[in-house]
Amino acid sequence: MASLRCPAVLVVVALGGNALLRRGQPLDAETQRQNIAIAAQAIAELARDHRLVITHGNGPQVGLLALQSADSSCSPPFPLDVLGAESEGMIGYVIEQELSTRLPDQEFATLLTQVLVDRDDPAFGDPDKPIGPVYSENDARRVAAEHGWILGPDGDGYRRLVASPAPKVVRELSAIRHLVDAGILVICGGGGGIPVTIDRGGAIRGIEAVIDKDRTSALLAAELGADALLLLTDVTAVYLEWGTAEQQRIFTASPAALQRHIFAAGSMAPKIQAACEFVRKTGRPAGIGALEDAAAILRGEAGTTIRDGAFELKMYDRDGQ
């Protein structure tokens, strides 16, 4: 099997927003804690044998915070970079609590993470990152008119779309590296990190955007010298012809093989892009699959493994093996 396991493995584990809050679930604190508790069980299994750095999505949460801020009559709405920092702390706090219960001898650090982006990134002219709750078409029109937001199709509904520039530099990289070297499990890069730029005077400034969490995870994993990257979501693997009678589950593939196919722009395509970036840059493997299968994906027994040298797609057979 195409195992990701290596001696003394350091793994960057990216928890997808859909893995922490299922589509259609209420955006309340208790529902999110219940989902994070499930995630913590899967992560704890990995952490008993490997060194981990955990990142996580924040799309539903940061969108909800933006909606609450825009609807408040007490003050002007907070910008997205500040709300991103708020969601990073909020989600990281619950992840750390749930993991601490399951790993009482492990030390943790949840770190607000600033990520440098290019203020001239073309993404600012083409917002395509969905955040916040799902709306019906009529509600989407109303919300767009009320707040001046861009909303677009997302699955069977509509969501707010914001700019998603490419991550360039993780500003806290040195601190994360020191913590990892000290044996501390780090939770960082939440929501792709807080997007910042540097102005002409050299000051760091937040910018209105949400960075793709998987791309930041791939950048961080490469810079840390991680042995593997796991992108965990709510689907079991990468599929060809997803959602059709001809869909096929991919077992292993190379970046070149995956580039010959088209995947869903708002969901699987960014994960594949991030995984391929990591594999090309480092020569090390990446895995994509379901959160509950995290340990099995690392062993090469579940999910989809992307690696150098597997020049053709290898599919699961009809029995899922």
10 Å Cβ neighbour count for 84?
32
Nearest CA to 167 among 148, 188, 186? 188
What are the tokens at 122?
A: 């073309």
10 Å Cβ neighbour count for 287?
31
d(CA 321, CA 319): 6
**Contact status, residue 38 vs residue 234, Cβ threshold 8 Å:** no
d(CA 88, CA 187): 9
Nearest CA to 36 among 53, 22, 46, 50? 22
Catalytic residue numbers read 17-18, 129, 213, 271
Strand order in the sheet with 157-162: 129-135, 157-162, 151-154
Q: If you ran DSSP here, which 8-state letter would residue 312 be given?
A: S
What are the tokens at 258?
A: 């995956």
d(CA 264, CA 237): 13
Residue type (1 letter), 107: E
3-state secondary structure of 241: coil
- In sequence order, the β-bridge partners of residue 216 are none
**Contact status, residue 88 vs residue 191, Cβ threshold 8 Å:** yes
- In sequence order, the β-bridge partners of residue 229 are 12, 286
Residue 104: is it exposed, middle or buried by C-beta count within 10 angstroms (0-12/13-18/19+)? exposed
| Angstrom distances, CA of residue 63 to CA of 30, 210, 321 | 18, 10, 38
